[in-house]
Structure formats: structure tokens, C-alpha cells
Amino acid sequence: MSEVFSILEYAFFRNALAAALLTSLLAAMVGTYIVSRKIVFISGGITHASFGGIGMAYFFGLNPLLGAAVFAVLSATGIEWISQKGKVREDSAIAILWSLGMALGIIFVFMTPGYSPNLMSFLFGSILSVGKAELYLLLAFFILTLAFFIVFFRPVVYTAFDPEFARIMGIPVAFFRYTMSVIIALAIVISIRTVGIILVLSLFTIPQITAMLFTRDFAKIIPLAALWGALGSLAGLFFSYFFNIPSGAAIIFILTLQFLILKGFVMARNFFRRDEKVIT
């Protein structure tokens, strides 16, 4: 146990802890929107498109996260535009974006002279190397998103649930839908550092699905998802450190385990409750 506390003395580990916590809180809000609107596939498209940006940034010697952000925001707003126009089959457009992003990323990474040591960290996450600057960026984006959710909570939910009715009520639906797609894109890119491209979407969905075992109320799913997400991320972080495995895999593994255990618990509870009702 003392070993657990002793690593807290290291600055890099405290940074990692803060990053894991902030990422899971951010994912709790944004992920609840994603899961409620059933746009998990769209978000997957945005995530993988962003890899194209990472590859290009490598090639041109720019900051990879910046490249990822540009690609993610462009594809997110592009998909929202397509879905509002409704002319193209949305899912085929996403599939194209998904594969094109990955292909571009790989092409540019391979064209970049020399070895790219950071590539693995983008695919699998390397939370232990998160620096102060990245932490502040994460904190700033978290605060902005939190403020947006607090101030515009009702229109965000209404435009997600029934955009047509929201429009009749005079809510600027396009503004909220586009703003939310930008927030989704940036939240995903910022979280890539923690869990990596391959698993980032799990961070935005598994805590929500876990929370939805207990409630079907948007406003209550967020705090519950934050709780399960934070618990799983912190446990996953220690797991990752002590067994020396990539942080993304460790965190998602714990989150999934947590879900399965709670699912079993809820099923057992329902089973026994039913029994009680039959008897009385």
C-alpha cells in the first residue's frame, strides 16, 4: 500500500491523475450527449478522421494534437451539415471519412523520415507523459464545456431529443447542434492523450451505459457517468503503472469490468425483487 502512496510524490504521476480525472469528467458530459443522441458511430468517424491530422502534422513538423483538432472539427461539422441537408446517406459518408482519415494518417506517418516514437502513444494513450501545458489546456476546455452545459442545459437536451419541436419553440437549433459537434470533436482529440485513438470512444460511452443501468434521465446520467468514469480511470491508471501496460487499455479494461459487475448486480437485484413480489 505504501508503494501506492509513494508514487504520488512524483509530479508526473500527479499530472497523470489530474488528467485522468479531468478527462473522465469531460467525457461524462460529452459522452452522455453522444449516447443519448445515438451518434456513437459518428463520433467514431470523427475520432478516426483525426488520425489523418496527426499524420499530416507529423509530416509537416507541426503539433500532432493541432492537426488532429483541425481534422476532427472539420469532419464533425461536415457530418452535421450532411445530416441536416439529409441528401447523402449519413453512414456511408462517415465510413468514408473513417477510413480516409486512418489511411491518410498511416501514409503521412510512413512518409515522415525517421522513427516516430510518439505514434504508439497516440494509438494507445500515454497518460504518464502528460505535461503541465497539456494539463492546463485540458482544464481550460473542461471548464468551458462545463459552463456551456450549465448555461445551455435545456436547449442542448431539447435540440438533441426533438430538434423539430425545438425549432418551433424558437431555439436556434443549428447553433446548438454545430456547437455540440465542435465540442465533441475537441473533447475526443483532447482525450486521445489519455486513452489513445483506438479506445477513446469507450471512455465516452461505457460510463454512460453503466450509469444508464440506474437512471434514464439525461441530467442524472452525467454525474453518475462522471462517478463511474472517474473511479475506473483512476483504478486503471494505477493498474497501468504497476503492470506497465498502456494507460488506455488499462482504463478501458477496468471500465468494462466495472460495467459487467454492476450489470450483474442489477440483474441479481431485479431477480430477487421479482421473487419477493411473487411471494407477497
Partner 1 sequence: MSKPLAILENVTTGYFSDIVLKNVDLEIFPNDFIGVIGPNGGGKTTMIKVLLGILPLFKGKVTFPQGKPNMGYLPQISQIDKSFPITVRDLVGSGLKTERSWFPHLSAKQKKQVNQMLDEAGLMSLASKPIGELSGGQTQKAFLCRALINHPQLLILDEPNTFVDKGFEQELYRWLKELNKEMAILLVSHDIGTISPMVKTIACVNGTLHYHPSNQLTEDLLKVYNCPVDIIAHGPVPHRVLKDH
Binding stretches for partner 1 (CB under 8 A): 36-38, 87, 150-155, 157-158, 160-162, 164-171, 212, 215-219, 221
Nearer to partner 1, 221 or 237 (CB): 221
Smaller CB separation from partner 1, 91 or 217: 217
Distances (CA, A) of 1 to 8, 18, 168: 12, 20, 59
**Residue in 95, 86, 120, 8 with CA at minimum distance from that of residue 45:** 95
d(CA 110, CA 115): 9
- Closest distance of CB 170 from partner 1, Å: 7
Q: Is 27 in contact with 193 (CB distance < 8 Å)?
A: no
CB 47, min distance to partner 1, A: 23
d(C-alpha 236, C-alpha 256), whole Å: 11
Comparing CB distances to partner 1, the nearer of 87 and 277 is 87
Q: What is the closest distance, in whole angstroms, from the C-beta atom of residue 40 to partner 1 in the complex?
A: 13
We find the least distance from the C-beta atom of residue 176 to partner 1, in angstroms, to be 9
The residue written with cell numbers 456511408 in the block is 92
Minimum separation from the CB atom of position 255 to partner 1 (A): 20
Which of 240, 177, 233 is CA-nearest to residue 204?
233
Compare residues 124 and 149 and give the one whose CB is closer to partner 1: 149
Closer of 79 and 166 to partner 1 (Cβ): 166
